[in-house]
Amino acid sequence: MAKRTPQVKPDPHGLSAREAFDEIERLRAEIRHHDYLYHVKARPKLSDEEYDRLFWRLRAIEEVYPDLITTDSPTQRVGGQPQPRFMTFVHTAPMLSLDSTQGEAVVRRFDERVRKGMHGQVAYLLQPKLDGASVELVYERGRLVRAVTRGNGTRGEGVTENMKTIPTVPLRLRAVDRSAPELLAVRGEVLMYVSDFETFNARMVDSGAQPYASPRNSAAGAIRQLDSRVTALRKLHFVAFDVLSAHGVTFHKDRERVEALLRWGFRVPEGGTVATSVEEVLAYHRSWAARRDTLDYEIDGVVVKLDDLDGRADLGTTSHHPRWALAYKFEPRSEVTRVERIAVSVGRTGVLTPVGLLLPVQVGGVTIARASLHNREEVRRKDVREGDLVRIKRAGDVIPQVLERVEEQGQRRGRRFEMPAECPACGTAVEERGPLTLCPNRLGCPAQLKGRIVHFGSRNALDITGLGDKTAALLVEHGLVIDLADLFTLQPDRLIELPGFAEQSATDLVDEIQDCLRPELHRFLYALGIPEVGVSVARDLATHFRDLDRIRTASVSKLLEVPGVGPRMSEAIRDFFAHEQNARAIAAILEHGVQPSPLAASGGTGLAGKKFVFTGRLTRLTRPQAKQLAERAGGRVVVSVSRETDYVVVGEDPGSKYNRAVDLGVSALDESQFMALLEDAQVELE
Ligand code: IVH
């Protein structure tokens, strides 16, 4: 019988089928390891480029040998075809919820009950209570086979494809050979970081969509998308805290399970600990309450769990809750207060936003005096009027929101709120687009101009620290800036005349703006405030086109070639550049000598994140060149010297910054030392 040879395309890497198999296995193991270091350990060892090289090689070989693609390959995280609906699955073990309290007395009673049942020594495992969406992950022989939402606790929806897009969800358990159970079911929380949520929600509002009320809702919404490619676009994290079933592995303590979760490659809640007294439990709650606002994810309390697993079995569960655990929640971050007035603010894109000006109220230790009402439809839906009582909510750093109106018996209410017919900043008749109200006076409206200036100088744009809200308002009000390009003509002597400016601050601002003449392309793109273009899309565009002119003239189909850019975005970008006023504004900026430069391949040099300050005249380099080189090395250029500054580069006739650097003990370099440093960092000097 003739031997069948496998039908394969010629491999660009010149590998035989056997070699391809080995190479695929090797690449997967390596990528998995680096995913783990990056996402779980937050200690990456490879630069993005090195990682991408591994990934693309794996993808290229898999393309030639599609039969070798497995569902747990790192290339399978990107999201697949949309599903018509979700299948439901029964959980391997019920996903119970926890009894909860906000009161110390209840915690003490819980502790007494547990001690009585346990006759003696008691240890609790304490963890922060993560406020996300609860999901069960099921692994068979170490491979992820299913992910199911909590649902009603017994049965939930299968969201496997979506969960696979989350980088902290292991597709395959680590340390599989030593300790992977036949079947493992893990429970954890899907989180969206507050900072990512804010960016995401701002985009929802900008595009007229209904914003999500909290990172939790947004995470829950993301994992229930029928199209997993949509889930993949939201930045989600998975943190594991419970083992629902583990066949063939016996644990005696919950802390052993947490250790096993870590070994298997999961992230677990940070700051977990074991306590033996109720006082320690109370102190743990206090310390997390104090840290709560500094976290980039939301927690709503701490969880107290009996560590001893036999003890848990003895105490048992009620119909809803285990008797061996308690959620000790924080005071809510919502509060009731009165809306004194509804003002309307105008953003840089011309969108009018109603804002409730509130009788100031403390929410979780912070005074809140304003809360967003988002748009016309929102106000209508919630029917909030001046003088009403409302419940407001603050979540992490998220802009406070009006959750709902609180009914008051016998209260005469004010008039229904209507959006103004004219822009409150410039008087132009507004236009309605879907739920949004817009001021169409793009160039002449002072509020929009102010917004554009602030955005232009914001941290992810040109990073001009001196261009805050107040300064931008002054520049507009006093007619110093009528167009973004005017920023580059500012002179210290005119600035000094503005209230609040002194000689030093005026020179610093002008210097800082002049230091931006060679911005990195992606920062410049982001600074322009193109609709739909956030930080990461700006980066993608810059990496793909590497040249502003090519982006300015790109057709929709060319733009669609950029990974991550969809049809809506491409049209928005093309329309932006095609718009005559925008084209003129950009040309004016470039005429002032602004030269955006493509992103240099950052090789992860030792200068990444280092802060540089320049003072005095350089002789071999111009200031913009020096700034650009420092940035190419991964550094940041800032204006003033502080303890955080890493290097002060001192030219001829240095200013007071040099003295300050000496006082603070910051390293000072002359121009040639600076260039030597760059050479060491392998930055090419032109
Ligand atoms: S232990 C028997 N630990 O809080 C339940 N739950 O009602 C065992 N949660 O939706 C759960 N962080 O998903 C536990 N560190 C943590 C948690 C946690 C958040 C969630 C859980 C559930 C709710 C409890």
Q: Is the C-beta atom of 211 inside 6 A of ligand 1?
A: no
- Is pLDDT of 11 > 70? no
> Strand ranges (DSSP E) for 221-324?
236-246, 273-275, 299-306
Residue 628 near residue 518 (C-beta atoms within 8 A): yes
- pLDDT attached to residue 397: 46
The mean pLDDT value for 324-337 works out to: 88
What number does the ligand 1 atom closest to the CA of 272 have?
15
Q: Is the C-beta atom of 269 inside 6 A of ligand 1?
A: yes
Please, which pLDDT band fits residue 5 given cuts at 50, 70 and 90?
very low
Question: CA-CA-CA-CA torsion for 538, 542, 543, 547, nearest 10 degrees?
Answer: 170
Q: Which residues are catalytic?
A: 129
CA distance 373 to 403: 9
User: Hey, CA dihedral for 406, 408, 413, 414, is it positive or negative?
Assistant: negative
Q: Going by C-beta distance under 8 Å and a sequence separation of 6 or more, which residues neighbour residue 2?
A: none
CA distance 117 to 314: 8
Name the residue of 125, 127, 189 to mutate for ligand 1: max ligand atoms within 8 A of Cβ: 189
Please, which pLDDT band fits residue 9 given cuts at 50, 70 and 90?
very low
User: Hey, CA dihedral for 144, 149, 150, 156, is it positive or negative?
Assistant: negative
For 167-193, the pLDDT digits (tens) are: 999 999 987 556 678 899 999 999 999
* Residue nearest atom 4 in ligand 1 by C-alpha distance: 129
- pLDDT attached to residue 2: 40
What is residue 86's DSSP assignment? -
Q: Write phi, then psi, for 237 (nearest 5 degrees).
A: -135, 150
What number does the ligand 1 atom closest to the CA of 127 have?
15
For 395-428, the pLDDT digits (tens) are: 554 568 888 899 888 888 999 999 999 999 999 9
Q: Is the C-beta atom of 135 inside 6 A of ligand 1?
A: no
Q: Write phi, then psi, for 521 (nearest 5 degrees).
A: -55, -45
pTM of the model: 0.57
Ligand 1 centroid to residue 140 C-alpha, Å: 23
Q: Is the C-beta atom of 97 inside 6 A of ligand 1?
A: yes
What number does the ligand 1 atom closest to the CA of 242 have?
1
The residue count of the chain comes to 686
Please, which pLDDT band fits residue 126 given cuts at 50, 70 and 90?
very high
The residue type of 298 is: E
Q: Is the C-beta atom of 257 inside 6 A of ligand 1?
A: no
CA neighbours closer than 13 Å in the CB half-sphere of residue 331: 9
CA distance 43 to 636: 21
What is residue 67's DSSP assignment? G
Q: Is the C-beta atom of 73 inside 6 A of ligand 1?
A: no
What number does the ligand 1 atom closest to the CA of 321 have?
2
Q: 169-182 burial, b for 16+ CB within 10 Å, e for fewer?
A: bbbbbbeeeebbbe
Locus of tokens 């119970």: 96
Ligand 1 centroid to residue 678 C-alpha, Å: 50
CA distances from 315 to 153, 306, 309, 613 (A): 20, 10, 10, 63
The mean pLDDT value for 369-385 works out to: 89
